[in-house]
Chains A and B, each alone.
Chain A
């Protein structure tokens, strides 16, 4: 089920919130939330909940095991706990990629095709949200192993943590230490928090439906299609529009997820921290998908960078850090999608981060803040070619068009004005989750409520057409 559908907004969400507050015991609320979340997930495909249940049961069991095994076997228990959810992820997300590439390689080397392997690869359907809940399961097992948290004894509470529908499909990637305690505490209805949740949900809906989906129209017809028809101006407009589309799509989803959670008194971590105002690629990445970048830092980068002893020279330490960072970013790329273009995108961002760090460290240069922000945003937007154009054979042509090798061309006037307005929005308006309407004067709050309702009303007009899924659903 998509957040941006009438079925969700007018039926599922109100029924869930009313049902939640109608229950007077926390254990009932937790059970109700789990059932609602599984129904939400199973709506798209009735087999998906079984996968989620498998990952949940495995990680929960591993947590219990970690609390009982002897010290010297804890590491093995941790790896066992990680292996289950990771195997599901590999089977459903990466086996197709591996099979397809293996078949292509065999075809190139031997001249004989492997059609059955290609068919196998194309027959695998990626269950939505699997990347997110796999990472949540892994972080839980590792955190129990590291003794950051105690293992959860209640399977119901753990299942609710894993399946909680606002974050299930596209994040944020929540750690158990954040959500677990909130699931234990009985939440008394807080009208201020509820109202801020409604406003945040409305803002997210407007970002997704009114801005992201409108921006999508241009890149959908210009990127990933015949690059010969792309020229300098149309190419850059398409690329900036794609950057804006994915920005508002993800920001919109995040706002909606946080807003829904606030309505029932659950505080999810923010996931989108004004990335377009970052002056360095590293900061941009850290602010873009906050919970993912922190997850990669804590569970990939830090363990890989750890060790090597004190005898390493400064240069070797730096080299090791750079290599670790490149590996982490490659993982980040592959997390987004099982294809070569995402891997290249991860490497591209990694190179940007390493190079800017190295230049900064070596020269001590520091660009003026605004110029640094513009350069960072442009460089990250340029990387969008690798993110958006899935067919690698089209990428050189697209890049050539962006460098003006296909001529100057023209740009759509009305669309470019709209695009420019969205960039102004990105640059100036604070993220809505930071707003604190309860501190505002009464009239301003009333205007906010009416305005939020109005944007939802206009968004409903847009929603009459079949909905566009969120970009991050494919990850």
Chain B
């Protein structure tokens, strides 16, 4: 075979490979069967609706999409008050009619990724910011793996979007719904709210709000008591993780932010369980003391709602997300009222 013919065949080989790969990537990107991609028009539509419009988690998307959604919330809200933490503080919302508030927390957010969020907030809103910082026992546990990253590179994104499972699911979607628009979003009415969700999928919670907060479950459900204390990382105060938390607090302090640290409550029966187990209780006390010391070093105050849930009167019925660890909207509103009062008091003292 002449070499020229071989070169031609190798070119065909390369073109065939490139087209197949690019086609698979494009198809997976377009269908997005694993809800990895966030579409900013969703939030535009939610904000443009006559009534407050909520978005299902399927409509917003999974982990990388949540990060993009949060950054979109940040750009739109230009917040001077943010909440930063994991899923347990995600039901802290803006008051009706309030502007300049954003809940920048995400499920699985670690202290290192939280630092990226701080930088992004500073980029958008260079002025002073008040932050309600959710000090989580999980953050100091070296064995807990944060699963959300705000700083994905294009290659990391590609690796997340493109997979055999994604491609097969895309093909299945097109086979089952020929001619359907995979990015379409339907609007329906649920308990006085409008809800945006993918057509053909249920409009059930969790729902995202346009301020970045979430509603985990429908009201009226109560988490059943279990046997685990369940606050990840009670037994660990990992030095590397503690250093990450300190870097986060130090950076916010350096930016001149007003920091108020807090630990969200858990269901009362979990608190009783914690106090009935000396080892867990001692671990938690160590964590609590470490957080107080850390925040005090940067002139920040700290309130531990987990140790004293009665201060905001959160009852078992206020924990309905399934694990008695996630305070609901009303409990989170009471929690926010306490934090707002502290922030106002400290601001007036400072002035």
User: Who on chain B is nearest to A462 by CB?
Assistant: B164
Provide the A345-365 mask, 1 if CB < 8 A to any CB of B, else 0: 000000000000000000000
Query: Any chain B CB within 8 A of the CB of A18?
Result: no
Most buried by A among B1, B5, B13, B14: B13
Among B1, B9, B18, find the residue whose CB has the most chain A CB atoms closer than 10 A: B9
How long is the Cα–Cα vector from A445 to B17 in the complex, in angstroms?
16
Q: Kindly name the residue among A198, A455, A456 whose own CB sees the greatest number of chain B CB atoms within 10 A.
A: A456
CB distance from B307 to the nearest CB of A (A): 42
Q: Enumerate chain B residues within 8 angstroms of A445, measured Cβ to Cβ.
A: 9
Looking at B20-28, B69-77, B89-97, B343-351, the stretch in contact with chain A turns out to be: B20-28
Distance between Cα atoms of A247 and B164 in the complex (Å): 21
Interface check A371, CB cutoff 8 A? no
| A45 CB–B CB distance under 8 Å | no
- Distance of B2 from chain A, by nearest CB (Å): 7
Contacts A191-B6, A195-B6, A458-B20 given; indicate if A453 touches B12 (C-beta within 8 A).
yes
Q: Within residues 187 to 218 of chain A, which ones have a CB less than 8 A from any CB in chain B?
A: 189, 191-192, 194-195, 198, 202, 214
User: CB distance B162 to A461 under 8 Å?
Assistant: yes
Name the interface residues of A429-462: CB closer than 8 Å to any CB of B: 438, 445-446, 449-458, 460-462
Number of residues from A at the complex interface, CB < 8 A: 26
Number of A-B contacts (CB under 8 A): 82
B161: nearest chain-A partner, CB-CB: A464
Asked whether A191 lies within 8 Å of B1 as measured between CB atoms, the reply is yes
Q: Is A424 an interface residue (CB 8 A)?
A: no
Question: Which residue of the partner chain, among A195, A214, A438, A461, contacts B24 with CB atoms under 8 Å?
Answer: A461
Complex interface: chain A residues within 8 A of B158 (CB): 464
**B218 CB to nearest chain A CB (Å):** 33
Q: How large is the interface on B (under 10, 10 to 19, 20 to 34, 35 or more residues)?
A: 20 to 34
Q: Are B13 and A450 in contact (CB under 8 A)?
A: yes
- Compute how far the CA of A195 lies from the CA of B2 in the bound complex, rounded to whole angstroms: 11
Q: How far is the CA of A195 from the CA of B9 in the complex (A)?
A: 8
A189, A449, A454: the one contacting B9 at CB < 8 Å is: A449
Given contacts A451-B16, A453-B15, A454-B16, contact A461 B21 (CB under 8 A): yes
- In the complex, A451 Cα to B12 Cα: how many Å? 9
Q: Which residue of A lies closest to B5 (CB)?
A: A191
- Complex interface: chain B residues within 8 A of A465 (CB): 163-164
Contact (Cβ within 8 A) B9 A458: no
Q: Which residues of A contact B180 (CB under 8 A)?
A: none
Of the residues B1, B10, B19, B167, contact of A461 by C-beta under 8 Å? B167
Q: Are B24 and A458 in touch, CB under 8 angstroms?
A: yes
The answer to whether B21 and A460 touch across the interface, beta carbons within 8 angstroms, is: yes
Report how far A191 CA is from B8 CA in the complex, Å.
11
A455–B12 alpha-carbon span in the complex (Å): 13
Nearest CB on A from B164, distance (A): 4
> Given the complex of chains A and B, what is the CA–CA distance between A191 and B21 in angstroms?
26
Q: Do the beta carbons of B6 and A453 come within 8 Å of each other?
A: no
B13 engages A453 (CB within 8 Å):
yes
Q: Considering the chains assembled together, what is the distance between the CA atoms of A438 and B164 in angstroms?
A: 33
Whether A198 contacts B21 by the Cβ 8 Å rule is no
Q: Is the CB of B25 within 8 A of A461?
A: yes
Kindly supply a per-residue 1/0 record for chain B positions 156-169, scoring 1 wherever the CB is within 8 Å of any chain A CB and 0 otherwise: 00110011100100
| CA–CA, A54 and B164, complex, Å | 42
- Which residues on A sit within 8 Å (CB–CB) of B19? 454, 457
A-B pairs with the 4 shortest C-beta distances?
A453-B16, A457-B20, A191-B6, A453-B17
- Beyond the given pairs A198-B13, A202-B13, 14 more chain A to chain B contacts, judged by CB atoms under 8 angstroms and listed by A's residue number, are A191-B1, A195-B1, A195-B9, A450-B12, A453-B12, A453-B13, A453-B14, A456-B17, A458-B20, A460-B17, A461-B21, A461-B24, A461-B163, A464-B164
Give 15 pairs: A residue, B residue, CB < 8 Å, sorted on A.
A191-B6, A198-B10, A449-B16, A452-B13, A453-B14, A453-B16, A453-B18, A453-B20, A454-B16, A454-B19, A457-B17, A460-B21, A461-B162, A461-B164, A464-B164
